[in-house]
Amino acid sequence: MAATREAIALCIDVGMGMLEEQPSSNQEPPVTCFKQAISLASMMLERKIFCDSKDEVAVVLFGCDETSNDLAADGQYQNIKVLSRLQLATFRTVEALHQLAPSLASSGDLLDALIVCLDLLRSSRAGKKFACQRIFMLSNVAGQFSDDQLDLVTQALKDEQTELALIGPLSDPDPQQPSNGDRPSTSTQGNGAPRNKLKSPTQLRAESVVRSMLQSGVEGSIYSFGEVHEVLVFFNAREMKATSWSVNMELGSLQIPVLRFIATKEHKLKSWTKINADTRDESQVKLTRSFYTQPADATEEEKEVDVEDLAKGYRYGTSLIPFSDADEANIKLENNKCLKILGFPRQEQVRLQEAVGESSTVIVAPTTDQGACVALSSLIQACVRQGRVALARYAYSKASNPRLVALIPVSKPTHECFVSVQLPFADDI
């Protein structure tokens, strides 16, 4: 099965240049580039969390006062810190972002930061499969940098097939404007509000370097803070991959090949994870379980019982009746994967308000099987004309217990199908 998840590195500039304020629209007070970058990075992580994405995200800071990365040696790749390695997005990382403060004395090299991100993605994805990898750099590119390794970085991005997105108070160059370092920049926010602000020669040079990489074959683009914010304010729906369950629908001696897809399903919250209350470390918590005899009176002491000496049992009155695995296997109902129609009651006889189960499904014929499409369509049309519902015995697999389901016919100009809902047995009501 092809991988669909992504490996993402958020490369955030926290240098002193990020203290630069950017005008806001609607007469709101100016906001520093640092606050905008942290806000967008947090929104990206929260977006992944709420849609239960399987994408893994790493966070790298550059321009910080401390250095912590795998390439830092001999004075190289300084002021770059790996905040979190490649992992699923967590609120712990979001919390760590909000606790950051911009540096008041340092600035980071954006090309060095890209190299650290590429090395981090390469080392962290060992043994994992990803459909693609991306680097999102959030910066106003106001810090000093060296372009000595520009060709190396460009080739590495292409070799690793890594997309690069630069997010900041940037704009595409206007060919009508002069190209000297004193020309005004007319960057626009996502809402179209102009903000005329002179860019420094360093920023213009950095923009030129990034564009040269994109023009040299590196996939990616340049976005403004406002453009990205407009996208991130809306959360993605949780993505679900539609998988089919194939079976032959039995109607007497007639068998119709059909496919079953989940239409709606109850989403269950993930279980709580036990962590250390002080360190919040999950690995420090280990669960051990032991069994003891129940003393008949106060004079007896509890005795520990080994797991090998335990057996299943059921209480019958005041007695405990042993029930072994062999007994359970002997009385287990033998079953096979099936969808067998039992009858066709009228729709008003089926009380759908008593439906049970955690999902509803749709049953259709394979589009590649013309005979199955005609047979299932005829059955659906007959049920619709006579106001009938099909009752069927359903078992997902040989190991599943059989269930009673109602197949409700749906016939529309665009499609035909049965909608399947589980019905209760008499003992369940």
Q: Is residue 224 exposed (0-12), middle (13-18) or buried (19+ Cβ within 10 Å)?
A: buried
Tens digits of residue pLDDT in 135-193: 999 998 888 888 888 888 899 999 889 999 999 875 544 433 344 444 334 444 444 44
Model pLDDT, residue 266: 81
CB atoms closer than 10 angstroms to residue 312: 11
CA distance 52 to 55: 9
Q: Is the pLDDT of residue 273 over 80?
A: no
**Residue 18: pLDDT band with limits 50, 70, 90:** confident
In sequence order, what E strands does 169-298 have? 184-188, 194-198, 220-224, 245-251, 254-265, 291-292
Instruction: Return the ∠ at Cα 85 (arms to 79 and 87), rounded to 5°.
Output: 155
Nearest to 374 by CA among 246, 208, 256: 256
Cα separation of 292 and 306, whole Å? Answer: 9
Q: Give residue 340's pLDDT.
A: 94
Helix 33-50 to helix 225-232 angle (10° resolution) is: 30
Evaluate whether 48 touches 170 at the Cβ level (below 8 Å): no
Rg of the chain on CA atoms, in Å: 31
CB 151 within 8 A of CB 217: no
CB 61 within 8 A of CB 101: no
Q: What percent of the chain has pLDDT over 70?
A: 89
Per-residue pLDDT of 215-254, as tens digits, reads 888 898 888 888 888 888 777 666 667 788 999 999 999 9
